[in-house]
Amino acid sequence: MTLLDVQRLFDTDDRCREALVKLRWPSGVECPRCYSKRISWIKANKQFDCSDCEYHFSVTAGTVFNDSHLPLTIWFTAVLLLCEAKKGMSALQLKRTIWGLNRGSYKTAWYLCHRIRAAMKEADRPMLDGTVEMDETYVGGRMKGHGSKAAKAAKEVVIGIRQRGGDVRFFHAEDAKSGTLQKYITENVSADVDVIITDTLQAYKSAVGEIEHKTVNHMAQEYVRYEDGACITTNTVESAFSLLKRGIVGSWHKISAKHLPSYLAEMEFRFNRRNRHDLFIDTLRHMVTANPLTFEELTKDAV
């Protein structure tokens, strides 16, 4: 799906709405209150009417589109822009691309991006299997003093776990201590995984427990090693990290710790679907099934 396709196929709100109806209720419209399927369409209000409980509802009611005054055509364009921006797109850039320099508000664009991300967060996360690479990285804070302990303390810890040739998972972690790493392994890696490959950070040793564990010694400039024909490296999880970091530095600039998990969810969602032709439609599908995200909820306890 390209920007031109979206503008051609979804050129009016009615056409966008038709697409959302099919995505939200693939087996026919259902009342969100009583689950009845005896539904009629009220054309004048662009709403459905439930014949059993008399509830009136739109296709976007109770989803991330809830209470939005923006035309659906704008929503669809924004979804495509976020889907196609490999390194992410800042709300400011999105505002400029959609509305231009002097129109639209930053706040509207920012809230719009966050609601799309909220839907991406709802994606399924099946357990990772086979050869799994795991690594930790530090983002945000001051980028000075690379590698030093003090600089790391000012940054946020991100754990990455990736099935080789498959999906990645990103987590905003409290720390990179053994117990924390173990929790992410238990929750995301299949118990009969073949091997977990990490760097030589001591904490991984007890975190992996009984699982087969191989390490690459980055301190000794070792990045790839072959053992009985198996490639021992954490390069594929690191390539996902490098895209994430370029996104943080290049597109979002400074992001607060509070919103970091949302940005991670966006990067993860897009990365795991990078070879899929239905990325745009799949994002919309998540948007009509995810819960609303109010502006109050999004901005409370802002850092």
Contact pattern from residue 260 through residue 279 relative to Zn ion, giving x for each residue in contact according to CB under 5 A and a dash for the rest: --------------------
Between 34 and 127, whose beta carbon lies closer to Zn ion?
Answer: 34
CB nearer to Zn ion: give 34 or 230.
34
Give, in degrees to the nearest 5, the angle at Cα 247 between 207 and 125. 45
Question: Which two structure tokens, joined as six digits, stand for 235?
Answer: 């390069």
Strands 39-42 and 47-50: antiparallel
Q: In what order do the strands lie in the sheet with 47-50?
A: 39-42, 47-50, 56-57
Contact characters 173-192, Zn ion, x per CB under 5 A: --------------------
34 binds Zn ion (CB under 5 A): yes
The encoded tokens of residue 299 equal 């901005």
Helical spans, DSSP H, in 154-198:
178-188
Closest contact distance (angstroms) between CB of 285 and Zn ion is 23
* Residue among 103, 83, 176, 110 at smallest CA distance from 137: 176
CB of 29 to Zn ion, least distance (A): 11
Nearer Cβ to Zn ion (8/33)? 33
Window contacting Zn ion (CB under 5 A); options: 31-39, 59-67, 101-109, 234-242? 31-39
Helices and strands in the chain, H and E counts: 12, 10
Q: Which CB, 33 or 246, lies closer to Zn ion? A: 33
Residue 294 Cβ, how far from Zn ion at the closest point, in Å? Answer: 24
Q: Where are the beta strands (DSSP E) in the chain?
A: 39-42, 47-50, 56-57, 131-139, 156-163, 168-173, 195-199, 213-216, 224-227, 230-233
Task: Take residue 109 and report the two structure tokens written for it.
Answer: 């664009």
Q: Report 36-95 residues binding Zn ion (CB under 5 A).
A: 36, 50, 52-53, 55
33 part of the interface to Zn ion, by CB under 5 A? yes
Is residue 31 at the binding interface for Zn ion, with CB under 5 A as the rule? yes
Instruction: Write down the least CB distance from residue 35 to Zn ion, Å.
Output: 7
Nearer residue to Zn ion within complex by CB, 31 or 243:
31
For residue 29, state whether it binds Zn ion (rule: CB under 5 A): no
Cβ closest to Zn ion, residue 8 vs residue 38: 38
Proportion of the chain in helix, strand, coil states, percent, rounded to 5? 40, 15, 40
Q: Cβ closer to Zn ion: 50 or 240?
A: 50
Residue type, 16: C
Residue numbers at the binding site for Zn ion (CB under 5 A): 31, 33-34, 36, 50, 52-53, 55
